[in-house]
Structure 1
Amino acid sequence: MAAIAAALAACGGGGGGSPQAAVAYTAGSVYQVGTTSYDPDLPPEPTLPNDTQVCATLQASNNLVSRPDGSLPPEADPSKSGVGVAVDKTMINPDQARIQAALDACGASVDAEVGAKIAAADASAVASQTAAAKPNVNIAGVSGEELAKPQYKASKFAVRLVVNSQGPGNGFITGPLTLPSGVTLWIDKGVTMYATRDVTAFSPNPAGPYCGNTAVSATKAGSSSNCSALINGNNMVNSAVMGDGRIDSRGYAEIVTSNKLYPLMKVDMTCSNTYVNYAKGTQAADGTACDNGGTVVDSKSSSRNMTWWDLAYLGNMVQNGTTGYGSQSNFRMMVFNYAKNLTLYRITLNNSTNFHVVPSGVDGLTVWGVKVQTPSLAAFANPAGNGNPLYTGAVYNEDNVKNTDAFDPGSASKPTSVALATGSTTTSAQKIAFDGYLKNFVFAYNYVSTGDDDIALKGSSNPSPAGSGLPGIDGNRDVRADRKYGIVIAHNHIYWGHGISVGSETNAGVTNVQVYDNSFRDSEEGLRIKSDYARGGEVSNVFYNNICIENASNALLFTPYYSTKALPAAGPLFPNFHDITLNNVRIQGSSGVKLQGFQANSGGFGNPQYPLVMTMNNVVADSPDSINLFTSDANLTIKGVNLPLIADANNRNVITGTPTKAVDPSKVVDCSKAYVDFPAIGASNYFGSTWDSNH
């Protein structure tokens, strides 16, 4: 590194050799990050429903009152640990049935009013597309853009959760909910919707699959797919989750069961029963080997039950590293598959037990003004933890609440024609078509701090016809008239987490993505593209503009060596990142920068080199000597860059252009107002009511 720094200093500023030349690298006025309130390139901001558009209003019970830290008091839904101990369903899950009933009734009303119009529009579009016989294009049916018009929206479409009008009640406790097509779940200001701690709500079938474990047999790992999500939505048109309230999945909370035979893991690694015995309706004897990731059944154990985050840490950091098969079976907060026009607006999401929001195959996905903070202060108030909530004895921090990705949008596996979900058990009379692509995605004005990816575009599935060569995620696909870009991530504030990512699943391809006016403060990563040869593919035409990054562990991390996951049976899938552009990116404080392509013959597969092909304009560090830089297999074109990038035959780097210390970072992008405290949301985090840079 000293030799590289010396070489950079010896270049005397480059780029013409004078500060005046450095100034010339910037065009126009300096952009001030984090202050834009209106963007003409985006569609209009969503709006909350009005009172006349509400199907039903549900008041919180006065038995459920959030504490100032955001948690519920222990007496609200008391824990009961031990073998052969069950909790009372009426206390542990009091609101699921009434919320779902209101959603179902609203869904039926919406379908009765506009279902036939949607079906007719889809049938007309399918007939037109079939007649056109376009090659290599899926029949998408009616577009989400058409369905966004007023005639396809019901006059009443929202279910509203509100504080109790006669008392202090402001909480709801619920198990999994199904969001019907056309319905908005509106969580009002001051309201928190909590996930039940009853594991059987997420895994009701005695024959499995089983939730709340790190393994489901002696050799098979757990999986989040074993659990129903807290909010589920499939085959929808014009649905939403909105409001100024909160959803808290309580990943910090001790897991309990309303069925005394359901196997639970304990912090001493024993279990309360086995799945084999549970399926038979019997209790296993003490000393029987556990089949949920624990050791043996112990009816005498006085240890508390595991929390969801205990399982996540155990499965990912301990068992996976020693046995290779550990992974948590934790429920996700929201999972949506196949939708046209899905909106998340102004809602606050806390403490998911696994990923927060996983939308796949959505035409018209809008995430706007949403706050995600995990862990929140409620996590440290967990009564079972007594100040040391993790089973290891460690206090929760931003990096030991594993796999709590905030947003993982991606393409779906295939096109489909299916009836709309009008309720938890009902569907529309006619089917409509979904093409499976992620398109017209806007992620704007959000505040995100979590224990894993803040947002990650997943190009894991390709709904294109075989041999078409069409990517799973393409920002140029069917771009609507009310916006400039099809995939855009803009005006966001990112705190802890793995930043704005593409991958790690890129095998279906990701292209034409716009990322601009985003700030990163104390994040683990900033800008990131990640994959490996178990799930690699082509990532291209990703444009980053006007970015401020302060005190990130890795400000820039582009790597095709994300993990050593087992290869698919068909052989390796090689990552290929090219035509990546960074303009006006400023790095403040010490940080790492890793720029890697895929080396030829990597892993002994005889593959060609897939270099990282990147253009870097005005990519600067306030203190370039404090940047820990590593590059390999990179073809970089640079201008106005003060990072010590030099051609290096040993690492197979090709650099076009010359780094310069003459460039003035303050003339590249203005970060003076980019870094703001996390907005106060009542109960924010362990370190205070707002997120402070000195945490």
Structure 2
Amino acid sequence: MKKLNQETTSGRVCKTTALLSALTSALLLTACGGGGGSDNAATAVSYTPGAVFKVGTTTFDPDLPAEPQLPTDAQVCATLEASNNLVRRPDGSLPPEADPSKTGVGVAVDPAVANPDQARIQSALDACGAAVDKEVGAAIAAADAAAVAQQTAAAVPNKNIAGISGEELAKPQYRGSKFAVRLVVNSQGPGNGFISGPLTLPSGVTLWIDKGATLYATRDVKAYAPNVAGPYCGNTAVSSTKAGSSSNCLALINGNNLINSAVVGDGSIDSRAYAEIVTTDKLYPIMKVDMSCSNTYANYAKGTQAADGTACDNGGTTVNSKTTARNMTWWDLAYLGNMVQNGTTGTGSQSNFRMMVFNYAKNLTLYRITLNNSANFHVVPSGIDGFTVWGVKVQTPSLAAFANPAGNGNPLYTGDTYTKDNVKNTDAFDPGAASSPTIVALTTGKSTTSAAKHAFDGYLKNFVFAYNYVSTGDDDVAIKGSSNPSPAGSNLAAVDGSRDVRSDRKSGAVIAHNHIYWGHGISIGSETNAGVKNVEVYDNSFQHSEEGLRIKSDYARGGEVSNINYKNICIKDADNALLFTTYYSTKGLPATGPKVPNFHDIRLENVRILGDSAIKLQGFQANTGGFNLPAFPLVMSMNNVVADTPSAMRMTMSDAQLTIKGVNLPIQPSTDNRVTVNGVATWAVDGDLVLDCSKAFVDFPAIGQSNIFGSGWDK
């Protein structure tokens, strides 16, 4: 028999007795009530010795589909070797002489130096896409046409036409015998880098970046904004009155209307958002760190140079041809647009390119690849049936971001070096629904499509995010419910983990077995207006993250979020371990009026918090913002949710209906704040009997280069 004596929040002593029975092999923890100066009924929580879950040790999960595989040599369409002119430094960056900048205003860099590999990589992708389409395109088209005909005849209410399922398309008869374009280190020398502008990933094609190879994004802004008439990229404004937008820029890797495509390999992709922006067109407006600009978009569109003193229309002050200041970096623009020009009421916003953008796909896979230093979001997939992210590493900023010939840490234009707080809007993964269902031709190359059209229902479904390592300056994972592909008048959620669940998995929306470092943790929102439900989040660790578990929205883009299950979670030294709020931002309301957030049936089980942290649990108060709106309290159950130091938890609660058991957080009912609590919180809970976090926290893996978290395993 083991006795634990711990003090409750009211100063009374609670005796907790754990009784181990040889007959039942069960451990019973009984915690006395506390708070408010009155005695409350004891709460019993049952445990089984030896069965306490050990976070971070699971290597096989029968509830998930099989781990993806790298292609074989026989499945490669083309192999491209890195040029010996591009050799990565030990910190992961390219040396300045690899693609040097030119000083001054009204100067252009050489396209052959600034973007040497885009054409040959795209050519190989296009050839592979054409070969795959020739081999299996007819089979895919026939299967999809038959499925569309059947679904149309059935006319199922409130269900979009989906065509052939991703599960069926995963079968061998729908995959090309050769489908991969492989980037490798130079076989005769030290070359291990590629520099490319935007690439189009064809349907059925895998981009395979081999171990030791790195695909670097070109610094040439023109590559991401090829049209003279716009939209314009690389700014914080696109006119004197209109803010910029990252949708103005092509992504580094673009993929629309895909079947069985992937980006894989043990190599890496570095968007180099820390590096100075350059241009291959001397008239293209570039913003300088002294806030001047080199030209205006109005003059650029006419093919002329604006005179000195002309007001900039890209977010800068005035044109200055004589400045000696360096060009902005992408992260300079992000910080300027988000933190300075925008703030809480302004109109600034960065036009930065994203690393990967995918719209409409069936069976899209990211496997084992390392992603670094995106200028904006890393991966934005919308309307995907079968989106798998497995064994991927995202680290932003990486050590490469601090490389500088002057040895002073490659600072922002403000003089500050990069931290987790100033590389803004670098979300790692933002999966969500598409804006609508569609029937469209597949992308078979940069400028070619399939002969037949194929159906996509627009939902995000059969999403697996597993065994990844993520550290970034914004959301690590953020499921978006902003777009609504549901039929008009239906109440279906845009993202629903129970929709069309495949036979090789237990749930259609899973985030499991991941290590999270810097960033805003695992989030839902802030766009939830079309709904998110039935998501499973388990066996994840958070270390030094800004947030751990988070659901965020507001009445400008709120909606229903329900049946979200969190289990076996270790959180260490997070700013906000748990953050569930319906008051995320002060964005202006849409023309249709408020969209009320409604978070309910949120379940937390076996969650352990180490170190001091904050917890915010906020539902939606009635009549918020002066509108005659109903209340939507946060409805949440918490079973075995404990902090190793309960007194270090800073609680904010309002408009919540909580059911608790085995919880030692300082949770109390409040009439003033409209908080009801079913159950009693007590300090007398032993965290070691709830969850084993001894193996949960590990160094970020060092795969082929140094990292700012120390070294871990290598393979």
Q: Same fold (TM over 0.5)?
A: yes
Do the aligned partners of residues 22 and 493 (structure 1) sit closer, same or farther apart at CA in structure 2, a change above 3 Å counting? Answer: farther
In the alignment, structure 1 residue 557 sits paired with structure 2 residue 579: yes
- Give the letter for the 2:172 counterpart: P
**Displacement of 1:548 after TM fit?**
0.2
**Displacement of 1:8 after TM fit?**
5.2
In the alignment, structure 1 residue 407 sits paired with structure 2 residue 435: no
Partner SS state of residue 422, structure 1 = strand
In the alignment, structure 1 residue 146 sits paired with structure 2 residue 168: yes
- Give the letter for the 1:271 counterpart: C
**Displacement of 1:133 after TM fit?**
1.8
**Displacement of 1:13 after TM fit?**
6.7
CA contact (8 A) 2:43 2:661 kept: no
Structure-2 separation of matches of 1:40 and 1:440: 15
Structure-2 separation of matches of 1:61 and 1:388: 26
In the alignment, structure 1 residue 475 sits paired with structure 2 residue 497: yes
Report matched runs for 1:667-678 at 5 Å. Answer: 667-678=689-700
- Give the letter for the 2:656 counterpart: A
In the alignment, structure 1 residue 26 sits paired with structure 2 residue 74: no
Q: 1:629 aligns to what?
A: 651
Q: 1:199 aligns to what?
A: 221
Structure-2 separation of matches of 1:38 and 1:539: 29
Structure-2 separation of matches of 1:682 and 1:22: 51
Structure-2 separation of matches of 1:486 and 1:9: 47
Please, which of 514, 519, 536 is the counterpart of residue 497 of structure 1?
519
- Give the letter for the 1:116 counterpart: A
Partner SS state of residue 402, structure 1 = coil
Structure-1 separation of matches of 2:348 and 2:228: 22
CA contact (8 A) 1:13 1:659 kept: no
CA contact (8 A) 2:64 2:506 kept: yes
Please, which of 130, 139, 149 is the counterpart of residue 127 of structure 1?
149
Please, which of 662, 669, 681 is the counterpart of residue 640 of structure 1?
662
**Displacement of 1:681 after TM fit?**
1.9
Which structure ranks higher in relative contact order (CA pairs < 8 Å, sequence separation ≥ 6)? Answer: 1
Report matched runs for 1:378-393 at 5 Å. Answer: 378-383=400-405, 386-393=408-415
- Give the letter for the 2:46 counterpart: Y
CA contact (8 A) 2:219 2:278 kept: yes
Do the aligned partners of residues 142 and 9 (structure 1) sit closer, same or farther apart at CA in structure 2, a change above 3 Å counting? Answer: farther
- Give the letter for the 2:373 counterpart: N
Report matched runs for 1:54-65 at 5 Å. Answer: 54-65=76-87
**Displacement of 1:594 after TM fit?**
0.6
Please, which of 152, 161, 185 is the counterpart of residue 163 of structure 1?
185
Q: 2:20 aligns to what?
A: none
Partner SS state of residue 507, structure 1 = coil
In the alignment, structure 1 residue 334 sits paired with structure 2 residue 356: yes
**Displacement of 1:134 after TM fit?**
1.1
Q: 2:24 aligns to what?
A: none
**Displacement of 1:321 after TM fit?**
1.9
CA contact (8 A) 2:90 2:706 kept: no
Structure-2 separation of matches of 1:179 and 1:316: 30
In the alignment, structure 1 residue 47 sits paired with structure 2 residue 75: no
CA contact (8 A) 1:618 1:640 kept: yes
**Displacement of 1:683 after TM fit?**
2.6
Once structures 1 and 2 are overlaid, which stretch shifts more, 674-683 or 441-450? 674-683
Q: 2:687 aligns to what?
A: 665
CA contact (8 A) 2:30 2:45 kept: no
Once structures 1 and 2 are overlaid, which stretch shifts more, 28-37 or 677-686? 677-686
Q: 2:302 aligns to what?
A: 280
Please, which of 595, 600, 621 is the counterpart of residue 617 of structure 2?
595
CA-to-aligned-CA distance 1:356-409 (integer Å, 9 cap, x gap): 000000000000000000000110004488424200000111110000000000
CA contact (8 A) 2:478 2:523 kept: yes
Structure-1 separation of matches of 2:69 and 2:529: 36
Please, which of 60, 75, 80 is the counterpart of residue 38 of structure 1?
60
**Displacement of 1:689 after TM fit?**
4.3
- Give the letter for the 2:243 counterpart: A
Partner SS state of residue 241, structure 1 = strand
Structure-2 separation of matches of 1:9 and 1:220: 58
Please, which of 424, 441, 444 is the counterpart of residue 446 of structure 2?
424
Structure-1 separation of matches of 2:429 and 2:401: 20
Please, which of 322, 336, 339 is the counterpart of residue 317 of structure 1?
339
Do the aligned partners of residues 296 and 94 (structure 1) sit closer, same or farther apart at CA in structure 2, a change above 3 Å counting? Answer: same
**Displacement of 1:23 after TM fit?**
7.4
CA contact (8 A) 1:271 1:297 kept: yes
Structure-1 separation of matches of 2:156 and 2:503: 22
Please, which of 424, 446, 454 is the counterpart of residue 468 of structure 2?
446
Structure-1 separation of matches of 2:406 and 2:31: 63
Structure-2 separation of matches of 1:26 and 1:646: 25
What are the ranges of 5 or more consecutive residues in structure 1 without an aligned counterpart? none
Q: 2:110 aligns to what?
A: 88
Q: 1:656 aligns to what?
A: 678
**Displacement of 1:136 after TM fit?**
1.1
Report matched runs for 1:249-268 at 5 Å. Answer: 249-268=271-290
In the alignment, structure 1 residue 100 sits paired with structure 2 residue 138: no
In the alignment, structure 1 residue 575 sits paired with structure 2 residue 600: no
Partner SS state of residue 113, structure 1 = helix
Once structures 1 and 2 are overlaid, which stretch shifts more, 682-691 or 553-562? 682-691
Structure-2 separation of matches of 1:443 and 1:401: 23
Structure-1 separation of matches of 2:232 and 2:607: 46
Do the aligned partners of residues 341 and 571 (structure 1) sit closer, same or farther apart at CA in structure 2, a change above 3 Å counting? Answer: same
CA contact (8 A) 1:126 1:140 kept: yes
What are the ranges of 5 or more consecutive residues in structure 2 without an aligned counterpart? 1-6, 17-28, 34-41
**Displacement of 1:320 after TM fit?**
0.3
Structure-2 separation of matches of 1:544 and 1:465: 30
**Displacement of 1:235 after TM fit?**
0.2
Q: 2:196 aligns to what?
A: 174
- Give the letter for the 1:409 counterpart: P
**Displacement of 1:27 after TM fit?**
5.2
Q: 1:394 aligns to what?
A: 416
CA contact (8 A) 1:374 1:449 kept: yes
Partner SS state of residue 654, structure 1 = strand
Partner SS state of residue 420, structure 1 = strand
Please, which of 79, 84, 89 is the counterpart of residue 67 of structure 1?
89
Do the aligned partners of residues 54 and 9 (structure 1) sit closer, same or farther apart at CA in structure 2, a change above 3 Å counting? Answer: farther
Structure-2 separation of matches of 1:330 and 1:10: 57
Structure-1 separation of matches of 2:8 and 2:644: 17
CA-to-aligned-CA distance 1:172-228 (integer Å, 9 cap, x gap): 000000000000000000000000000000001111100000001111000000100
- Give the letter for the 1:540 counterpart: S
- Give the letter for the 1:440 counterpart: N
Once structures 1 and 2 are overlaid, which stretch shifts more, 192-201 or 602-611? 602-611
CA contact (8 A) 2:637 2:658 kept: yes
CA contact (8 A) 1:23 1:663 kept: no
- Give the letter for the 2:229 counterpart: A
Do the aligned partners of residues 413 and 579 (structure 1) sit closer, same or farther apart at CA in structure 2, a change above 3 Å counting? Answer: same
**Displacement of 1:25 after TM fit?**
3.4
Structure-2 separation of matches of 1:24 and 1:626: 23
CA contact (8 A) 2:344 2:586 kept: no
Please, which of 514, 525, 542 is the counterpart of residue 520 of structure 1?
542
TM-score scaled to structure 2, two decimals? 0.94
**Displacement of 1:573 after TM fit?**
0.4
Q: 2:131 aligns to what?
A: 109
Partner SS state of residue 25, structure 1 = strand
Q: 2:324 aligns to what?
A: 302
- Give the letter for the 2:539 counterpart: D
TM-score scaled to structure 1, two decimals? 0.97
Structure-1 separation of matches of 2:274 and 2:143: 46
Report matched runs for 1:5-20 at 5 Å. Answer: 7=9, 9-10=11-12, 12=14, 16-17=30-31
